[in-house]
Structure 1
Amino acid sequence: MVVRSSKPPRSAMADKYQRSPQRRDGHFQNPAPRPAQSLGKNLRIIWNAFFNKPAGTVPNGLVPVQAVSRVQLDAAPNRSLFRLGHSTMLIKLRGSWWLTDPVFAERASPFQWMGPKRFHQPPIALRDLPPIRGVILSHDHYDHLDRQAIQYLASTTELFLTPLGVGDRLIEWGVPAAKVQQFDWWQSVEIDGLHLTATPAQHFSGRTLFDHNLTLWASWVIVDDDLRLFFSGDTGYFDGFKTIGERLGPFDVTLMETGAYDAQWPYVHMQPEQTVQAHLDLRGRWLMPVHNGTFDLAMHPWQEPFERVLALAAECDIPLATPRMGECLDLASPHTGERWWRKAEAGAHVQWESALSLK
């Protein structure tokens, strides 16, 4: 694989970026500045992530995946959600399909030969997806923005909704500019009767060592008449959840980051206790934990996010939806789902052909 440099985004929207309340000194920032970390601490984190992983961060056996067919999707009713892995969800609303943070690559990495590798095959290949009305992106990290997937979807997708700057990356990759809409926090758009709003998150951005925070990150609110959905993207816990809940809630289903957390980086990813608190702040009803079960991105056992959030949700009397990868969830009437992560077959090996292959 040829690794291409990632130039700082440049577009006709540059002046708008400068006017964004989130942009200061040429970079996007969180409302509460991220605490400074020493170079030594950062190097220790990187060292531990590569060379000092504890046991259990990768499944010993096969992760259960329910294959999804085009026939099944064509017959799916409105308000169906299919979890495809990590933070990638395929959602049918008002007769059209929407895709969040599409990642179909074998690795969440700029390289095909190193970096976090998928635990499971995507339930459906890119080539088998239905026409997509819109892709909704939360930020530009590799586990949320897959360049090859975007380039394939460019011809079959009508719209790409992104935070400021992320759309410029898409345009640089060949997505027609007319298909790209970029948003600052609290900016909204109405499409086919759906109301979509980019909302705050506490995170960071960048795909190289040289483009830190040159693009914005966001969560998203999707409103379809009486159905309200919240998609967290990546975020640490912050008081913005309460504000979002007050302004745009309550929510029928929250798709909440629950995974890739660690005490060493509390500012950018939530512990399960914080996920549950954020759900309560948002005034959510059903909680669906995402950002887990697909990539090894932290130091915790791969199944730990499910077990912890399951126990916490029970303590708080929060209904929890845990569909397996590829299982359909009725957003109008969610179900709990099985504890599928407990059923991985010990000793089996995950082998699969990349779903990105078009052959």
Structure 2
Amino acid sequence: MTAYLLRRFGQMLLTLFMIISLAFFLVQAQPGDYTSTYAQNPDLPPNVRSQIQASFGLDKSLGEQYLLHIKNSFTGNFGVSFGHYPRTVMDVIKERLPRTAVLFLTATVISFYLGFVLGKAMAWRRGGFMEYTATISGATLFTVFTPWFALMMIWTFAFKLGWFPLGKFLDPLVWREAPVAANSVFNDMLLTAGAFTVFIFLAILISKKAGGRRWRTWLLPAAAAGAVVIPVAWGLSGTAYLALDILKHMVLPIATLTLISFAGTMLLTRNSMLETLREDFVMAARAKGLPENVIRDKHAARNALLPVVTSLVYSLAFAIDGGIIIETIFSWPGMGLTLLQAVRSEDLPLAMGAFVFIGIFALGAHLVADVLYAFLDPRIRYQ
């Protein structure tokens, strides 16, 4: 396994090198000096253009520019953003990337759980009303036109019912006299969510060792304790209303992504379960007299999980660039909207940086898929 991981990591570096090279030559294909676009920009000091030219080596030969581009990419030095001057590209990406990651990872986890549970139930109880209803609903959501569906979600739940904000990251009226910055509150929210996840994971791990099969009875008290401690801690900090404002703005984008994503997981799980139920080991489990829930959950579902997990991990590779539509419609300032705005405003340093990070994210997702396959399927042996 170690040799395989090292080999795959080497392949990732080679692929990343090709992605960075592609980004360089795409920019070079643009005629002229792209810094001339901002020569008359009143927001940029006169000496900024020369600084950018020196940073990217635009006054040097093509070969020297390429080597400097490779060095800057691997060191994270993408220069200064034209549209966010004087902020650097890395500063903008560090701010926007967590917003996209939270949005899509949350929706992906929820949609995976719902899709897998419903797909498993559909395959186990074929021919019922639930299967027909879920199949039609899943096919509709899976093939729905995403921009139209997102706009309908906004029109229904934000404009008509007024349950949620129309979009954006926060309400300026709420934050007008806020004692802290929005990024600080958002980062604290990420730390809280991460700590709660680790707490639940440790509770499951400890209870499994201590209680054997009764570990689920330990999980509810642990989750309840976290659900009580977290609001109390935020209330004492005095920024709970700010965090609540951000959460309210996250509900509609996450709900839209979840409804669109879970349908594909549900249909794939159903098909995978139907194929698994025809296998000989399922018949052998029934012949042994095992309970139906054991056959379904311990034998069939675990084997049906493999293609579903692969689809899940690969879908994460397109979370950032695929979020352009959702983030644009909901005005969510993440990587998708940032990339679109950078391209439209010809902010090439920011566009190149976002392009490289999308490539890194995609390569990492592929590596995770391979590693998960090795752990989930004992039949697979990487040499």
Same fold (TM over 0.5): no
What is the TM-score when the length of structure 2 is the normalising length?
0.23
Larger strand share, 1 or 2: 1
Q: Which structure's residues are more often helix, by fraction?
A: 2
TM-score, length-scaled by structure 1: 0.24
Q: Which structure is higher in RCO with an 8 Å CA cutoff and minimum separation 6? A: 2
Which has more radius of gyration?
2
